[in-house]
Amino acid sequence: MTPSWLQSRRKELTRLVCGCMVVSGLLALYPLQQSIDRERGGSGSRREEILFLPSGVMLRRLSGGYSGLLAAVYWTRAVQYYGRRRLAHAQGFPLLGTLLSITTDLDPHLLIAYRFGSLFLAGKLPDGAGSPAQAIHLLRRGIVANPDYWRLWEDLGFIYYWDLRDYARAAEAFRLGSEQPGALPWMRVLAASVAAQGGDIRTSRFLWLEIVHTAGNESIRRSAELHLAALDAQEALNRLDGLLSSYRQKEGREARSIQDLIASGYLRGFPLDPSGEPFIIGADGRARLGPKSKVDLRLLP
């Protein structure tokens, strides 16, 4: 009868041999794919389409516990594919999304594949795939698999911001990212700034107020206070412009000063900006900050 320790040792050796065989097989994919890529002819595009199995889930099941290694092989393949087609000035990157999907199916925690892969996908043609929708899908998959990694929210926010000009979703991505463990303070600042740029003044004000009350950094808190002052001043200017328009329609002439609005009953007194300086009427008939005002409207988008 074979001793139990010897049976255990045989099992370990068997697993080791099988593991070496799997690793060797996976590593063999790389030169094999390079060899196929070097082939030329009319069916070149077809060969490129069969360089991999189309299902990362299937490959994961067949990997024998080496899905992480196989994910690295496919990530290398995706980078190769992107770089080769870009250098060749090829028309698009039709397989890039699939390669990245397979890579992250094999290893859902391969963060570099989500981060750089989304950049490859979102980039404008001819330097990228011109597909921000695919990039967003990839990043959202990454967020589900890695919910505490705030950088994926950052990447998602920038794609909404730069590529889609969707400021509301960008602000929301930055806000959600700012709530993840280890997120840097400027993520909340980004959320507030982008919300204002998208015209969502209410959300922007809420976020700036929250920064004022919670920021541990004095310079960030001061920046938030300045942004709030600019928001308050702009809203006051908008209200004054509305009163000036009403005055013009009723009186048939432009108001020459704030005193005209007071005299006609539109105002009860001289309105002051957040720095304590009175507003004035500009030569164009619109409300303006006074010359001594310390409010910086350039902080607003």
Q: Which pLDDT score is estimated for 65?
A: 78
Please state, as a whole number, how many other Cβ atoms lie within 10 Å of the Cβ of residue 127: 11
- By three-state DSSP, how is residue 26 classified? helix
Tens of pLDDT, residue by residue over 21-62, are 444 444 444 454 454 445 444 444 444 444 445 566 677 776
137 or 21, greater pLDDT: 137
Of 107, 125, 146, which one is at a domain's C-terminal end?
Answer: 146
- Whether the pLDDT of residue 183 is over 80: the answer is yes
Record the tokens describing residue 66, joined without a space: 């080496």
DSSP code of residue 43: T
* Alpha carbons within 13 A on the beta-carbon side of 105: 18
Q: What does residue 66 show for φ and ψ, rounded to 5 degrees?
A: -110, 35
- The CB density around residue 2, as the number of other CB atoms within 10 Å, is 8
- Domain-located, residue 135: yes
User: Coil, strand, or helix at residue 278?
Assistant: strand
pLDDT value of residue 53 = 54
Evaluate whether 44 touches 69 at the Cβ level (below 8 Å): no
How many CA atoms does the CB half-sphere of 206 hold within 13 Å? 9
Q: How many domains does the chain have?
A: 2
> Residue 17: inside a domain, yes or no?
no
Could you tell me the two tokens for 189? 């600042």
Give 174-182 contacts, CB < 8 A, sequence gap 24+.
Answer: 175/207, 177/150, 177/151, 177/152, 177/153, 178/150, 178/153, 180/147, 180/148, 180/149, 180/150, 180/153, 181/148, 181/150, 182/148, 182/150
Residue 257 lies in a domain: yes
Cα distance between residue 298 and residue 272, in whole Å:
19
Among residues 97, 57, 59, which one has the least CA distance to residue 78? Answer: 97
Last residue of one domain, picked from the residues 110, 128, 146: 146
Distance CA(79)–CA(160), nearest Å, equals 23
Residue 140 structure tokens: 């959202």
pLDDT of residue 41: 43
Report which of residues 266 and 8 the model is more confident about: 266
Query: Would you tell me how many other CB atoms lie within 10 Å of the CB of residue 198?
Result: 19
Greatest pairwise CA separation for the chain in angstroms:
112
Residue 68 lies in a domain: yes
Residues 170-193 have a mean pLDDT of: 92
The predicted model gives 62-91 an average pLDDT of: 89
Query: Which of 146, 164, 185 is the endpoint of a domain?
Result: 146
* Residue 17 confidence class, pLDDT cut points 50, 70, 90: very low
Cα–Cα distance measured from residue 133 to residue 215, given in angstroms and rounded to the nearest whole number:
34
Mean pLDDT of the chain: 83
Q: What percent of the chain has pLDDT over 70?
A: 80
- The number of residues making up the chain comes to 301
CB contact burial 235-248 (16+ within 10 A = b; e otherwise): ebbeebeebbeebe
Predicted local distance difference test score (pLDDT) of residue 300: 84
Residue 278 φ then ψ, to 5°: -70, 150
In a domain, residue 240? The reply is yes
pLDDT reading at 63 higher than 60 = yes
Side-chain half-sphere exposure of 268, counting CA atoms within 13 A: 0
Query: Is residue 238 situated within a structural domain?
Result: yes
Which domain covers residue 286, as residue numbers?
A: 231-299
Confirm whether 170 is domain-assigned.
Answer: no
Q: Give domain status of residue 127, yes or no.
A: yes
